[in-house]
Structure formats: structure tokens, C-alpha cells
């Protein structure tokens, strides 16, 4: 057996993470089985009909740029990468009449701990992203795009490159797409291990071949983006949602979710559940229902806490989560955020100090070093949580943690500072007693951490 | 040595970007260097810099900023085990500890025969498949129970001795 054959035995097939038939009214995940990622199968599922429709190549009259943007606005689609910004509105910021080069960028640098949806979308339904990007490019008058893919998922990058080749050969990308006057060149690019590059301006710097250090905003990418040109950046899942919206209409998409929270969302459920994986469900689905899809809490234990939107989102205790529905507005009302849709579930055996210790180390490790409050502050946060975990904490540490976190927030160029501070704030708000117990007894309140 | 076939691969990456933006290909070129030569030396950085019309220091900034570039030689197989929180909740840290014990080295070290380098890593974006590890930057292994880890290491050792 050679090395390739050896490693092939350990490849994820997507059966566990995405092909479990436990989605609710899926759109992006609908009909996927792991083998049908290619162009022909995508077309058989209705793929590239939306692109034909807007270009008037389906026998109809086509859609104008304004009509495409209006449809996306009507759909209530909000950015799936974390910020939840209305996609149609973002598209309308692009100065379409700008005479020079403009760029479209897909942010597939999926590194927010807990998130693994974009990987499966690109691995198993890559043409949905390509078609979504082509539609966006048409709507904004852009003819060059890049998909920046997380460096750790190199096989997915290669899959996406293969899908690009198929799309070019079939005339869905390139010059004069489907015989129209619309041209769009799309390329794949990859990172190589830097969480910060998920921040959109750090991503642009990285795409320009530099260190991924975020830029001051304003100017925003819509006016000064890649190579200083107007640029629109959306998340992978956002683009993948677009073909369905164009095929079925904005109102139909909005109706799938709830007002101001249109459509379906893929939640990556990880941690202490029986069936970790990606679950595509309508926006507004109760958390309790999502937990049930994921098989419930592992080994029949009790739910203790949930980080509902990726590691940067404040943790919420079980009682609050069980009353929350999975949409931007409801989770915000509960005191956290939907973020990237990464739901990290923790059962009653989990120590919150140890959990925060690992997260704080992560932010300290991944701070790009540009802004002092983040570069120094994330290290302070980690060292304090680390000493509490290791039995060297001081009674004043909780207030100090809170103060340091507060002094990072809002004082940095990008959101990584806030992302490091929010988990600390959330833990202290809901589980301060565990930190106090650790300091006082120099040991863990919960005990075994399995 | 950067071979001509590597430079052909560089040019494939350069062609994705505007002709006055060759620097954009630097990430991919360095990844190619690492795949072929195992690590990124300052000599390699100079060749890449020349190929892309960049200052060698600008290339070095990239090598040192991103976690996955090897700034010194590593073992024939580099294993990066994710230990971030979602993985930790499903045995990620335990997987790393198991490998440390099996290989008789600490995380960050290379086995004496130069076969395996073991490292912890941050989120690889495969949280539902934990424990996960990455082999030589390009191949992810999922659901790595202790049995599978043993199978992997035994297989790599076998492959290492026959090649």
C-alpha cells in the first residue's frame, strides 16, 4: 500500500457531515450524495438555469442588473460569513458605472472554530458557488473574480479548480458566456494558515500576495478593494444561495425563513452531540429542533452551554438556548450572535475555564500583531485564563479579565479584537461562578473533562 | 533546487492574476516549493522573489506570517493535529497526546529517523469530523480514533522504510 492509498482510507466522504438526510427543506444540500458534484449532475438538479434565466438564454427576456439586485434584496438574504449584512444592499453599493476594473471575491477562508459548511458546499456542490458568483458578477458589472479558499482544505481547493475547468469548458465562465455579451473570468486562490484572512480586508491583502493584515475602513472594499479597485466580497454560502433565489424568486426565499431572516441556513453543529455535522434548516428553526437533528446531547448527558455562532460568539447557557430560534435577530436578542452558523455544543461535564483557555490561546496565536490592544490584550487574556485554569488565579482576575476584554473591544482596526473579547465577556457573564471556584479551590468545579 | 517543472507550476498560478500583479501568486508558489522541497529556505524565497518581481524580504514576510509554511526542514511526513475547542470536545487533544506517546516525541518535534514531525494546529475547518489531522499540508484525515491513528503511523512507517 502506498502513502496515497493509506491516506485515502481516512478521507471524509461527507456521509456523516452532510449526507444524513436530516436537513429541513434544504436548498444547497438538496440531492447531494458526495458523488454528484460535477457539472452534469448539477445541471440535472436545475443548475445553471438561473444564469440562463438572467442572460435570457432560457427562452425568456433575461433580467436587468437592477432586477437581479432587487430580487436578492427582496429575498432577505444576509451574509452567511458572520456579519449578516444584507446581500442585495451590499451589491447595490458597487459603483456599477465605474469605468475601470472591478472585482468579485468569494471568502472561503473558513477558519472560524466550529464552522465546516463552506468546505462541504465547495467539495460537494461547487457549481452552486460558481453560478452564484457569475450571477453576482453580472448584476454588478464585474468580469473578474477570485475564490480565496482556506489553505487547510487543499483537497477542496483542488475540487473547486476541477469544477472551474468544467464550467469554463461548458461556456458558463469565460468570454461571452452562453453567447451573451457578458464575460466573467473566475479563479481559485488559497490561504496557508492564517485565521485573520477570513477578515475581508486581510483576505484582500493576502490575495495581493502580502501578509494578511486588515486595512482601515473606510475606504470600504466597494470603493477601494482588490488592487485598489471596487470590490465586492461575499461568503461561499451566500453565493451558493443565489441561484435558488433567482430560480424561485426573492419572495419565495424570504418565505422559507422569517421576516428579515430569509431562506435556509447551514448550521455546523460540533462538540457534544451524537451526530456532529452540517444541517441546513429554515432560518428561525428552534435550537431545540436543530439539537434533535444532531442526535441530541452526547451519551444522554445534560446540555450545559452553547456557543451559537462560531468561537467568537458569546456563550449562552442551556436554558437561554432552548428558548432561542436559529436566526440573526433571535440569537442577537438572546445576547449572542448567529455569526457563521457554527453551533458548538457543550455538555455538563465541560469546564468553562478550560474551554475559554483554549479559545483565548487561539486568539492570542492568531492576532496579526498590527494593533496594540489586540496584540497585547489577547496575550493577557490567555495568560490570565491559563493561570486560573492551572490553579494560580487571583481573586481580582475576573474583574481584570473583564476590564482587559472591555479595553480591546472597539479599539482595533478589525473585528479580531472583539472576537477575542466577546467569548471572555460571555463566559464571565454566565459562568463567573466557575471561574471564582477555580481561583478559590485551585481546581475545577466540574471535574472530568473528557 | 527550484526545478523548471516547478517554475511551470508557478506560471500556472501567475496566469490567474493581472500581468502587473504577479505577487498575488506568492502564496501558491511557496506552497508548491514546500510540496516539492519539504520547506521554504531563504534560497527558495529568492528564486520565488525573482520569478514574481518581488523583494526577497516581501516573500519572507509571507513565509513567516502564515502558519503552514515550514521555515526549517521537517520530517518526511508532517502531521498537524487540530486541538481547537470544537475538536478538543471530541478528542482532538487526546489524539495529539496519543501520537506523542506512540511516536515518543513531543508536539513540535520530529522523530529521530526524520520520518514524522508532529504539530498541534488551529482550526482546519472540519469540526464535525473531529479528531482531524492534516498530512503534509494537503491531505486531511478525519475521525481519527486511536485505532486509526495507530494504523496511520504504522502505515507511514512502512511506507517510509520501503521508499
Average pLDDT over residues A361-369: 97
pLDDT at B162 over 60: yes
pLDDT at residue A444, as a whole number = 86
Determine contact: A210 vs chain B, CB below 8 A. Answer: yes
pLDDT for residue A18 is more than 60: yes
* Pairing between β-strand A264-271 and β-strand A303-307 as defined by DSSP bridges: unpaired
> Which of B 96-155 lie inside 8 A of A, CB atoms?
121-130, 134-135, 137-144, 148, 151-152, 155
Nearest CA in chain A to B81: A152
On whether any CB of chain B is under 8 Å from the CB of A366, the answer is yes
A111 contacts B122? CB cut-off 8 A: yes
* Min Cα separation A409/chain B (Å): 22
| Mean pLDDT on B149-162 | 92
Q: CB-based contact (8 Å) between A165 and chain B? A: no
3-state secondary structure chain A: CCHHHHHHCCCCCCCCCCCCCCCCCCCCCCCCCCCCCCHHHHHHCCCCHHHHHHCCCCCCCCCCHHHHHHHHHHHCCECCCCCCCEHHHHHHHCCCCCCCCCEEEEEECCCCCCCCHHHHHHHHCHHHHHHHHHHHHHHHCCCEEEEEECCCCHHHHHHHHHHHHHHHHCCCCECCHHHCCCCEEEEEEECCCCHHHHCHHHHHHHHCCCCCCCCCCCCCCCCCCHHHCCEEEEEHHHHHHHHHHHHHCHHHHHHHCECCECCEEEEEEEECECCCEEEEEECCEEHHHHHHHCCCEHHHCCEEEEEECECCCCCEEHHHHCCCEECHHHHHHCCCCCCCCEEEEEECCCCHHHHHHHHHHHHHHHCCCCCHHHHHHHHHHHHHHHHHHCCCCCCCHHHHHHHHHHHHCCCCCCCHHHHHHHHHHHHHHHHHHHHHHHHHHCCCCCCCCC
Higher pLDDT pick, A449 / B21 = B21
For range A197-211, the mean pLDDT: 98
Q: For A49-78, what is each residue's pLDDT tens digit?
A: 999 999 999 998 999 999 999 999 999 999
Return d(Cα B151, Cα A8) in angstroms, integer: 12
Of B83, B85, B158, the CB nearest to A311: B85
pLDDT for res A448: 57
Question: Residue B91 carries which DSSP code?
Answer: T
- Measured CA to CA, the distance from residue A115 to residue A82 in angstroms comes to 11
Residue A97 is predicted with a pLDDT of 87
pLDDT digits (tens, 9 = 90+) for A257-280: 999 899 999 999 999 999 999 999
pLDDT of residue B136: 97
What is the pLDDT at residue A447? Answer: 67
Strand A316-317 to strand A264-271: parallel, antiparallel, or no bridges (unpaired)?
unpaired
In the predicted model, what is the mean pLDDT of residues A328-334?
Answer: 96
C-alpha cell at A145: 473574480
Give tens-digit pLDDT for A77-89.
Answer: 999 998 899 999 9
C-alpha cell, A81: 460569513
- With CB atoms and an 8 Å threshold, state whether A7 touches B61: no
Quick one: cell of B158?
A: 512502512
Give the residue from B33, B127, B146 with the most A CB atoms within 10 Å of its CB, the best one to mutate.
B127
Confidence of residue A14 (pLDDT cuts 50, 70, 90): very high
Q: How far apart are CA B15 and CA A412, in angstroms?
A: 36
**To probe the interface with B, which of A9, A10, A198 has the most B CB atoms within 10 Å?**
A10
Q: Is A87 on the interface with B (CB under 8 A)?
A: no
Please tell me which of the candidates B65, B123, B151 has its beta carbon nearest to residue A111.
B123
Instruction: Give yes or no for residue B158 having a pLDDT over 80.
Output: yes
Per-residue model confidence as pLDDT tens digits over B61-117: 999 999 999 999 999 999 999 999 999 999 999 999 999 999 999 999 999 999 999
Q: What mean pLDDT comes out for the span A194-200?
A: 97
Q: Helix or strand or coil: residue B79?
A: strand
In this structure, what are the phi and psi dihedrals at residue A378, rounded to the nearest 5 degrees?
-65, -35
Residue reference for cell 473566475: A186
Computed over every residue of chain A, the mean pLDDT equals 96
Segment A291-318 mean pLDDT = 96
B55 vs A: CB within 8 A: no
For A:225-244, CB contacts with B below 8 A are 227
* pLDDT value for B133: 98
Q: pTM score, two decimals?
A: 0.97
Residue B109 per-residue DSSP state:
-
pLDDT digits (tens, 9 = 90+) for A91-118: 999 998 898 999 999 999 999 999 999 9
**Per-residue pLDDT at B13:** 98
Best of B23, B29, B64, B85 to mutate (most A CBs within 10 Å, chain A): B85
Residues in chain A within 8 Å Cβ distance of B24? 189, 207-209
pLDDT digits 0-9 by tens, A154-172: 999 999 999 999 999 999 9
pLDDT reported for residue B73: 97
Contact between residue A254 and residue A266 where contact means Cβ atoms under 8 Å apart = no
For B142, which of A6, A11, A342 is closest by C-beta distance?
A: A11
User: Can you give the pLDDT at residue B160?
Assistant: 81
CB nearest A212 (choices: B65, B90, B141) = B65
Which among B33, B15, B34, B32 has a CA at the least distance from the CA of B24?
B15
For chain A, give the percent of residues with pLDDT over 70.
Answer: 99
Assess whether pLDDT exceeds 60 at residue A449: no
Ramachandran angles phi, psi of A326, nearest 5°: -90, 85
Strand segments, DSSP code E, in chain B are 77-82, 116-121, 133-135, 139-141
Amino acid at each position: 500500500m502506498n502513502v496515497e492509498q493509506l491516506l485515502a482510507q481516512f478521507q471524509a466522504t461527507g456521509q456523516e457531515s452532510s449526507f444524513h438526510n436530516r436537513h429541513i427543506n434544504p436548498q444547497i444540500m438538496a440531492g447531494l450524495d458526495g458523488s454528484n458534484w460535477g457539472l452534469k449532475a448539477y445541471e440535472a438538479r436545475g443548475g445553471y438555469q438561473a444564469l440562463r434565466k438572467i442572460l435570457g438564454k432560457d427562452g425568456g427576456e433575461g433580467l436587468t442588473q437592477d432586477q437581479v439586485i432587487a430580487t436578492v434584496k427582496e429575498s432577505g438574504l444576509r451574509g452567511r460569513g458572520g456579519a449578516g449584512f444584507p446581500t442585495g444592499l451590499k451589491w447595490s453599493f458597487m459603483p456599477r458605472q465605474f469605468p475601470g476594473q472591478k472585482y468579485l471575491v468569494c471568502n472561503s477562508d473558513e477558519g472560524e472554530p466550529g464552522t465546516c459548511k463552506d468546505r462541504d458546499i465547495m467539495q460537494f456542490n461547487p457549481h452552486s458557488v460558481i453560478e452564484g458568483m457569475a450571477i453576482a458578477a453580472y448584476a454588478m458589472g464585474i468580469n473578474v473574480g477570485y475564490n480565496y479558499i482556506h489553505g487547510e482544505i487543499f483537497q477542496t481547493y483542488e475540487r473547486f479548480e476541477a469544477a472551474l475547468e468544467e464550467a469554463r469548458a461548458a461556456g458558463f465562465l469565460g468570454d461571452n458566456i452562453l453567447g451573451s455579451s457578458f464575460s466573467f473570468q473566475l479563479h481559485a486562490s488559497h490561504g496557508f494558515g492564517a485565521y485573520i484572512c477570513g477578515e475581508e480586508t486581510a483576505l484582500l491583502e493576502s490575495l495581493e500576495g502580502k501578509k494578511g493584515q486588515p486595512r482601515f475602513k473606510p475606504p470600504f472594499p466597494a470603493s477601494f478593494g482588490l488592487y485598489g479597485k471596487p470590490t465586492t466580497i461575499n461568503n461561499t454560502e451566500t453565493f451558493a444561495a443565489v441561484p435558488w433565489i433567482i430560480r424561485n424568486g426573492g419572495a419565495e426565499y424570504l418565505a422559507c425563513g422569517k421576516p428579515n431572516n430569509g431562506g435556509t441556513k447551514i448550521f455546523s453543529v460540533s462538540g457534544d452531540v451524537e451526530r456532529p455535522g452540517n444541517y441546513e434548516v429554515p432560518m428561525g428553526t428552534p435550537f431545540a429542533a436543530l439539537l434533535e437533528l444532531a442526535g441530541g446531547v452526547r451519551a444522554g448527558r445534560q446540555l450545559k452551554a452553547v456557543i451559537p455562532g462560531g468561537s467568537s460568539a458569546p456563550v449562552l447557557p442551556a436554558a437561554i438556548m432552548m428558548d432561542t430560534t436559529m436566526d440573526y435577530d433571535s440569537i442577537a436578542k438572546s445576547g449572542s450572535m448567529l455569526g457563521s452558523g457554527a453551533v458548538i455544543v457543550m455538555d455538563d461535564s465541560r469546564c468553562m475555564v478550560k474551554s475559554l483557555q483554549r479559545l483565548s490561546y487561539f486568539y492570542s496565536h492568531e492576532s496579526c500583531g498590527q494593533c496594540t490592544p489586540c496584540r497585547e490584550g489577547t496575550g493577557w487574556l490567555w495568560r490570565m485564563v491559563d493561570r486560573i485554569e492551572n490553579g494560580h488565579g487571583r481573586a481580582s482576575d475576573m474583574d481584570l479579565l473583564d476590564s482587559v476584554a472591555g479595553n480591546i473591544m472597539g479599539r482595533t482596526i478589525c473585528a479580531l479584537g472583539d472576537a477575542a473579547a466577546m467569548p471572555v465577556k460571555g463566559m464571565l457573564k454566565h459562568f463567573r461562578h466557575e471561574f471564582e471556584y477555580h481561583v478559590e479551590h485551585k481546581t475545577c468545579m466540574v471535574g472530568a473533562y473528557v | 533546487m527550484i526545478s523548471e517543472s516547478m517554475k511551470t507550476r508557478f506560471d500556472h498560478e501567475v496566469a490567474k492574476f493581472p500581468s502587473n500583479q504577479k505577487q498575488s501568486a506568492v502564496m501558491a508558489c511557496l506552497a508548491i516549493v514546500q510540496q516539492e522541497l519539504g520547506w521554504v529556505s531563504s534560497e527558495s524565497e529568492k528564486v520565488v522573489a525573482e520569478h514574481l518581481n518581488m523583494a526577497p524580504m516581501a516573500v519572507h514576510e509571507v513565509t513567516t506570517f502564515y502558519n503552514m509554511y515550514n521555515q526549517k526542514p521537517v520530517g518526511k511526513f508532517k502531521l498537524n493535529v487540530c486541538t481547537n475547542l470544537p475538536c478538543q470536545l471530541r478528542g482532538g487533544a487526546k489524539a495529539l497526546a496519543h501520537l506523542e506517546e506512540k511516536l515518543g516525541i513531543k508536539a513540535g518535534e520530529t522523530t529521530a529517523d526524520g520520518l514524522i514531525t508532529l504539530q498541534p494546529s488551529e482550526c482546519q475547518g472540519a469540526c464535525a469530523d473531529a479528531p482531524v489531522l492534516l498530512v503534509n499540508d494537503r491531505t486531511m484525515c478525519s475521525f481519527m480514533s486511536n485505532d486509526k491513528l495507530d494504523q496511520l503511523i504504522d502505515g507511514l512507517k512502512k511506507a517510509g522504510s520501503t521508499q
